[in-house]
Amino acid sequence: MATPRPTVVVRSVGRDERADWEPLWKGYQDFYKVALAAETTDVTWARLHDPAEPMHLLGGYADGKLVGIVHYLFHRSTWSAGGYCYLQDLFTAEGARGLGVGRALIEAVYAAARKAGATRVYWLTHETNYPGRTLYDKVAENAGFIQYRKAL
Query: Confidence band (pLDDT; 50, 70, 90) for 16?
Result: very high
pLDDT given at position 5: 81
Is position 26 within any domain? yes
Tally of structural domains, the chain = 1
Average pLDDT over residues 54-64: 97
Q: Do residues 13 and 59 touch, judged by C-beta distance below 8 A?
A: yes
pLDDT given at position 2: 66
pLDDT given at position 8: 94
Is position 149 within any domain? no
The Cα-based distances of 43 to 46, 64, 103 in angstroms read: 5, 27, 27
pLDDT given at position 115: 97
Is position 151 within any domain? no
Is position 36 within any domain? yes
φ/ψ region of 33 (left if φ > 0, alpha if ψ in -120 to 50, else beta) reads: left
Average pLDDT over residues 111-131: 94
Is position 43 within any domain? yes
Is position 148 within any domain? no
- Determine the structural domain holding residue 41 and report its residue range: 8-139
> Which range among 22-26, 116-120, 132-136 shows the weakest confidence by mean pLDDT?
132-136
Q: Do residues 120 and 74 touch, judged by C-beta distance below 8 A?
A: no
Query: Confidence band (pLDDT; 50, 70, 90) for 147?
Result: confident
Q: Which domain CATH number covers 106?
A: 3.40.630.30
Is position 121 within any domain? yes
Nearest to 125 by CA among 116, 134, 115, 138: 134
Q: Do residues 59 and 18 touch, judged by C-beta distance below 8 A?
A: no
Percent of the chain having pLDDT more than 90? 85
Query: Confidence band (pLDDT; 50, 70, 90) for 24?
Result: very high
Is position 78 within any domain? yes
